[in-house]
Amino acid sequence: MERAMYFLDQKDMPTHWYNVLPDLPEPLPPLRHPGTKEPLPREGPLPPPIFTDAVNKQEFSTERYIEIPEEVQEAYRTYRPTVLHRAYRLEKALDTPAKIFYKYEGTSQAGSHKPNTALAQAYYAKKEGVKRLITETGAGQWGSALAMACAFFSLECKVFMVRVSYHQKPGRRILMETWGSKIVPSPSSDTEVGRRLLAENPEHPGSLGIAISEAIQAAFGDDEAKYSIGSVVNHVLLHQTIIGEETRKQMEMADAYPDIIVGCVGGGSNFAGQFLPWIRDKLSGKKPDLRIICVEPKACPTLTKGPYTWDFGDEAGLAPIVLMYTLGHTFVPPGVHAGGLRYHGMSPIICHLYKLGLIEAQAVHQVATFEAGVKFARTEGIITAPEPCHDLRVAIDEALKCKESGEAKTILIAHSGHGHFDLAAYDEYLSGKLVDYEYPEEKVKEALAHLPQVPEG
C-alpha cells in the first residue's frame, strides 16, 4: 500500500460550510420560547439575546452553502485539513475484508473537533465588537477550544467550569489558562444562581446544568460579552461540516465511498459535522443505502430509549424548548467516562433525521468501548478519548460482521479526538475496575414527568 494517510492540500480546503436545513425533506419544527412556551419565529433569533448576530442568522439560515470567512480559514490553517487515515493495521488484526477509514480531529491543538466552531464564533464576536465570550465547560474539552479561539482573536474568555472537574482535572484548567482564559469554578459567587447555591452549600460540587445557567446569566448581565455554545444547536453543526466536506475530498483521493458512517453522539456536533455532507447523497438518491449509525452510551440512550417530545435544551430551563428525543432535562446520567455523551437531549437536526428514518442509532456499554479503544491503540497507536471509543466499538462490530459475511464494506469513523486527558479511564479498564451502568429506567421516568407543558400550535 502506498498511502495510509490522506492529506488534503490547504489550497483545496473547503471554503464553505454546508447547511442541511434547505435540503431537509421536511422542515425542522419551530422552537418554543422557554418562558411563554409559544412557537418562536422560524427566522429566529434565539432567545435570550446572548448570541452574536452572525450565529443567530446562521442558526436559521436557508442558504445551502455558507462561506467560511477568510480570517476563520486562516485560523483553520494552523491545524486543518485534518488527516483521513486508512486503518490497515486494525483491519489486519480483525482479519476483515472491510475497509476501515477514520477522519481524526485529535490533531487540533485542543485535541478535538471543538475548535472548528470555537474559531468561527470567536471571529464573529470580534467582528461585532464583543469584548469577551462566556461559556461553561464540564471536563473542559469545549472550554479549552474556546479559550484557544479567544486567544487567536484577541478576545477575553471566561469559562464556568463544573467545580468538581475544576479540582479533579487540573490539566484542562491549565490548558485554558495557558491560552489566557479566566476559569471560574461553578457554582461561583459571580452570578445570582451561583451565590444562591453556594449559600445553601459552600462545597457544592456543581453540574453542567448549573454552569450553563451561570454562563447565560453572566452573559445576559454583561453588555460587552456574548455567550458561546459548543454543540447541539444548528450553527455549531454548520461549522463542523468542514469535517465532512474535507472527508469527501479525501475519500475521493482514496478512490473510496463509505457504506457505513459511524460516530458517537452527545450533543451531536462532531458526528453531524461528518455525516451531513454525505446525507446529501442519500437525500438525492445517489446513495440511498448509505448507513449512518449514531452511537450513544447505554447509560444515556437518548435516541434509542427516549421519547420524541418537547423539552428544554438545558437543565435549568433557560434555553428554548425543542422537539427532540430526550431523557428529560432534569435527568442526571450515571458517571460514564464519556462525559461528552452525558446529555439528556440531542441536536434537533439529528433528532429530526432520526425521526425521519434517515439515520440509525445504537447504544453500547462502556467496558466494550474501552476494549475497542485498547485494540485501536495497539494496532493504530492512537489513544482515543472515551467518546469516540464508542465509534470504534461499533465500527469493529461492523467489520467483524463483514468477516462473517465476506462483504468488503467501506466503514468511515468520525473520530473526534485523543484521550490524553482521560487516561484514568484506561487505567480503570486495564485493571478490571471499570463497570457498566444499566439503563436507569426509573430515573428517566421521573425526569420525563417534569417535561414542560407545551400548548398546541
Residues that bind a copy of itself (CB under 8 A): 1-5, 7-11, 74, 77-79, 85, 88-89, 107-111, 115, 148, 151-152, 170-171, 174-175, 177-180, 374, 377-383, 420-421, 423-424, 426-427, 430
Q: How far is CA 250 from the centre of its chain?
A: 22
- To a copy of itself, the closest distance from the beta carbon of 221 in angstroms equals 28
- To a copy of itself, the closest distance from the beta carbon of 65 in angstroms equals 21
- To a copy of itself, the closest distance from the beta carbon of 61 in angstroms equals 28
Q: For residues 179 and 275, which CB has a smaller minimum distance to a copy of itself in the complex? A: 179
24 - beta bridge partners? none
Element at 150 (helix H, strand E): helix 141-152
Amino acid identity for residue 131 in this structure: K
- To a copy of itself, the closest distance from the beta carbon of 3 in angstroms equals 4
- To a copy of itself, the closest distance from the beta carbon of 269 in angstroms equals 20
- To a copy of itself, the closest distance from the beta carbon of 8 in angstroms equals 8
225 - beta bridge partners? 132
- To a copy of itself, the closest distance from the beta carbon of 382 in angstroms equals 5
Query: At CB < 8 A and 24+ separation, what contacts does 373-380 make?
Result: 373/419, 373/426, 373/429, 374/426, 374/429, 374/430, 375/90, 375/93, 376/87, 376/90, 378/93, 379/87, 379/89, 379/90, 379/92, 379/93, 380/85, 380/87, 380/89, 380/90, 380/102
Q: For residues 152 and 275, which CB has a smaller minimum distance to a copy of itself in the complex? A: 152
Dist CA 207 CA 229 (whole Å): 16
- To a copy of itself, the closest distance from the beta carbon of 431 in angstroms equals 9
Pairing of strands 132-137, 225-227: parallel
Q: For residues 111 and 267, which CB has a smaller minimum distance to a copy of itself in the complex? A: 111
Q: Residues 362, 293: contact at Cβ < 8 Å?
A: yes
Q: For residues 25 and 381, which CB has a smaller minimum distance to a copy of itself in the complex? A: 381
Q: For residues 10 and 36, which CB has a smaller minimum distance to a copy of itself in the complex? A: 10
Amino acid identity for residue 274 in this structure: Q
Q: For residues 164 and 383, which CB has a smaller minimum distance to a copy of itself in the complex? A: 383
Q: For residues 109 and 309, which CB has a smaller minimum distance to a copy of itself in the complex? A: 109
Q: For residues 87 and 225, which CB has a smaller minimum distance to a copy of itself in the complex? A: 87
Rounded (10°) CA dihedral 203, 208, 212, 215: 50
Q: What are phi and psi of 378, to 5 degrees?
A: -80, -10
| Lookup: cell for 398 | 461492523
